[in-house]
Each structure stands twice: as C-alpha cells, then as structure tokens.
Structure 1
Amino acid sequence: MTDRQPFDLRAYMHDIATRPCFICGLIDNDPACFHHRIFEDDETIIFLSKYPTLPGYCLVCPREHREDLAQDMSTDEYLRLQEKVHVLSRALKSVFDAERIYVLSLGSQQANSHLHFHVVPLPSGVPLEEQQYHALMAEHGVLQMSHGEMVEMARQIAEAYHAEGANRC
C-alpha cells in the first residue's frame, strides 16, 4: 500500500465545521470545492476524495442537499443512489486489486451534513490490523497524489463505471 502522509485533523475539523457545504459547492462549480469527478447525472454526483486514505477512495452523493437518509429521501431515490454505489463498487473492483469494497455513510449536523457515501476499495494484501476502520481513518495519514495522478485515476474509474453501467442487466 502507498505510504500515507500526516494529516492535520484538527485543521480539517475546524474547516468542515465553519465552511459552507463542500458538496453543494462542488455541484455549483465553486473552485474552492474542486474534486475530481467520476460521474454525474440529474440526481447523483460521484467524485474522488480530496483526502484519500486508499487509492480509488470515492464519494457518492445526491445532487440535491439532503441530510437525513431516513427522512429526506424516498425509497425510490435511495435505491437509485445505491444502484450507483453498486455500479461504482464493481468499477472499483475492476480498476484496483480490491479484496473488498468498503461502503459507509458519514457526516453529522455539525459538519459535512450533505448525505454522502464513502466507497473505498481495500487493496489485496493489506494486513488485517490495517484494514477496516484503520484503513479509512485520516488520523493514520492520507495519500499525497499529484493532480495528474488524480486525473488519471478519475479517468480510469469513470471508464470502468460507464462500462459497468452499460453491462447492467
């Protein structure tokens, strides 16, 4: 696995608690909220994490600002969003030598309140003690990738995503 660089979690927590919604900013093309996009349509946006702990770390979000999965989305909206999570999972498996795909929803009313799912490929061969939550925690550092590396990764994932979507039954 690629070595991680230290991450200033305290500064990040202050930033996310005091700034406007970065997902809405990304959707509105605010340059301060730039992320490398994988896929988007009228309902959903998928993009690479700006602070990945593993290669291929993506976020899947409804375009509309929704905060509560149970109350802010209909069952049909949720199922359409999860279908995209599933297609992305298949794409990530095809691009990365992934032992498993982690999927979780994080955020709170205090910060990062826009509903989003983290979809992260766990590379094969990662020791057990570095898997699961350990693999996802920025406290253990984040990967430093150049803009060019992120562009290429986003291109590969997007290509695989579109292929997987086209192959859906």
Structure 2
Amino acid sequence: MTAEPNHHNATILWIGGPAAAGKTTVSRLLAEKYGFHWYSVDSHAREHEERAAAAGLHVMGTGPGDFDRKPMIMDDLRALPAGTSVVVEGAAITPGMAGVAANAVWLMPSREEQVARLQRRHPEGGIDGYVWGWGLVQSQLEGTGASVIVVDGQSVEQTLEAVEGQFSAELAC
C-alpha cells in the first residue's frame, strides 16, 4: 500500500519516527541534496488542528487529537507547484497515513537511545511526553511490514546514507 500520489506526478517520500530519531535533520538534508521541498507535519500541527476544529472534527485546546491529518497533508502537498517532489516528515506519520511502500521509512532509536538523545536536547528535563511517543510509534509499526531504520549509535551521515538506500529507486527518477 502506498500513500496516494499528488496530482503532479511528483515523488513523495515519507519519514516518520518518534522524537529525537533524527527525522527533521535527515529529511532536511535529503530535501536539500535532491532538490525536494521539505514539509514538516509537526510544524503544521496547529494549522491542522484549527482546520479540523472548523470542520467539527476536533475541539481546540485538547491537543493534536485523533483526527485524520492525511487529507489535510495531501491538500497541502497538492497546493505545491506542479512537479514539486517533497520529503514529508514528522512524528505523526503512521503506516496508515504513508503506507508501507518503498517511499516510506521510520527512523527508530531504542528507548534508551531516545532517552539519551532527549536528555542532551532537553537538559532541563520534561521529556516524559516524548518518551511516551516512542511507545506509540513502536505500536503503530508492529505487524505492518513498514521499513524501519534503527538509528542507535549512528551519525547523521550514516542515517542519511541508510535513508538514501531505502529511497534509492525514488531518488533515481
């Protein structure tokens, strides 16, 4: 199963995973290197929440909610100029949203690696919500056949190389 293509016949690459997996860094580097548009699902969370509330699907102020963000993401992608290939990344990307085809990958640290990365990122603490998200992403991936890259001990360059390998057919087009 693959995510629906945008109406431009352009490539869509999906990168998911929990906080501190390296999604944003790697997806930005990938987009820059191959001339793709970079789209952060997480940075559109508030806008999507407002759109869902306006449609009666969500109550503002209750968090990101369980509404299906894929239609809004696909609307955003269709609004890009014709022929724009895009790297879509975010913690909210699920196998149900992106599909489990060759154009989707999840970066997964072990729980211990995620905690260590989060502690470096947030020395003041307050990482429990992020750690909770690790379990959510892990449960969404179980039994799906989704492509997962374990990022423990990897440098940004090594993770980028692994993602390029996953997307080699799409990047060759």
Q: Same fold (TM over 0.5)?
A: no
Q: Please give the TM-score of this superposition, normalised by the length of structure 1.
A: 0.31
Q: Please give the TM-score of this superposition, normalised by the length of structure 2.
A: 0.30
Of structures 1 and 2, the one scoring higher in RCO (CA 8 A, sep 6+) is 2
Bigger proportion of residues as strand:
1
